[in-house]
Structure formats: C-alpha cells, structure tokens
C-alpha cells in the first residue's frame, strides 16, 4: 500500500473548514484509492492511500488542482465573515 499525508495551514480555522467541506464532497473515482480529510484548529490534514504508486500520484495531483481552486476562491472573495456571538 502506498500512502501520502499532507498538512496544510490556513489563515483561520473557518477557512480550513470551508476548504475541507469543499474538497471532501467528491469521493475518489477508483475503489483502490482512499482519501480522508480532517481539520484541527487552522490545519487541514489529508491522508491518501492507494494500491499502486501511479494511482496515488494521480489522486494527489487531482486533489492539488482542486485545492488551488479553493484557495484562489477564498483569496478572491476574502476571508469569511465572523458571526456575532450575541445569539
């Protein structure tokens, strides 16, 4: 089994959670590739595993393309608004 783990810091925990929610929507198209995402504080952690190195490389490459899009979108539209805690 081949694995890859990434830890990606974001400016805030809210942005890390938005990225996690956006990137975890689509399951991996192949059964022999798995991906898990989690957020702790402002760090998005991703763990991939695949039966072949080639499949792992393709999965990570595709994920990085989606990650770039998410980061550029967050940058373009600014940080998320903070909700007031008056509730």
75: pLDDT strictly greater than 50: yes
Provide the pLDDT for residue 84. Answer: 44
pLDDT of 85 reads 44
Q: Which pLDDT belongs to residue 86? A: 42
- For residues 41 and 29, what is the distance between their CA atoms, to the nearest angstrom? 29
Report the distance separating Cα 16 and Cα 28, nearest Å: 20
Q: Which two tokens stand for residue 75?
A: 């940058």
**Right CATH for 2-76 from 3.40.1190.20, 3.30.310.50, 3.10.20.600, 1.10.1060.10:** 3.30.310.50
Instruction: Convert the pLDDT of each residue in 18-43 to its tens digit.
Output: 999 999 987 777 789 999 999 999 99
Cβ(49)–Cβ(31) under 8 Å?
no
Structure-token match 């998005």, residue found: 44
Domain boundaries of the chain, sorted by first residue: 2-76
């Amino acid at each position: 089994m081949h694995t890859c783990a990434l830890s990606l810091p974001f400016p805030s925990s809210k942005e890390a959670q938005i990225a996690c929610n956006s990137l975890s929507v689509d399951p991996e198209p192949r059964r022999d590739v798995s991906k898990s995402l989690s957020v702790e504080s402002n760090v998005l952690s991703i763990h991939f595993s695949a039966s072949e190195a080639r499949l792992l490389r393709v999965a990570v490459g595709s994920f990085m393309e989606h990650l770039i899009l998410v980061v550029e979108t967050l940058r373009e539209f600014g940080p998320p608004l903070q909700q007031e805690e008056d509730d």
